[in-house]
Amino acid sequence: MSILDQIIQAKQKEVQARKKVFPTAYWEQSPLFARPTVSLKQNLQNSSSGIIAEHKRRSPSKAVINQQLAVETVVKGYAEAGACGLSILTDGHFFGGSLDDLSLARAHTSLSVLRKDFIIDPYQLIEAKAFGADVVLLIAAVLDRPTIKQLSEQAQALGLEVLLEVHNAQELEKALMPSLDLIGVNNRNLKTFEVSLETSQSLAEKIPHSFVKVSESGIHQAEAVRQLQTYGYQGFLVGENFMKTANPGQAATQFIKSLNHNR
């Protein structure tokens, strides 16, 4: 069983367990459930850097990345650095995150916040809204087309934007539909965990202009962003490159300054 299969199997059990403890009606009473969301799509379209900075404690491929820093410290640092949006890992078992991380981030920033998790059930969309997310991630590798349609339409009905993540042309072809806002190309091969920016480059022309293009994983240098911008990408999700440092906010500041230098 692949690591992705293990994650989805664990997620299915987790969601069923949470449903029994916290029914949907419970989350709908959350003070954050009725708040107007902040558009990541619009922010990226109007941004010079397009950096979506991520809070990420650990991952299956890299084990511990940074478990020392408080979420609010990281989030404030990213906002001060000039990040366009935030990505918050909420998977606990494999990534060390939580929904509490999401609500803490929401409390300390006005930026658009993405709930990054393995969403397989409409229940998780209700959770995302209740904890202050503006955007949710759907991963084409683990969802069939009818499920992507169901989840994306329900997300938009809740006022959430949808970032659809693909890894290859087959996933992109399967998943393209009007109920998506942003298309993210993950440069990490989920089977080998190898990373190549050529994945984003090769898929760029296949993504219709109606979607904002986001490149994910393996972005370590400002030059990589500038190169990807020539392929039409407006969003760049950066996590490990910032989180592996003692001061992610400072690392993000230096990265964005370097990116905007000589513009």
Active site residues: 54, 56, 116, 165, 186, 216-217
Beta partners for 63?
59
Q: Identity (one letter) of the amino acid at 155? A: A
Beta partners for 215?
185, 236
Cα dist. 132→33, 38, 129, 156, 176 in Å? 7, 10, 5, 15, 26
Classify the C-alpha dihedral 107-37-137-214 as positive or negative: negative
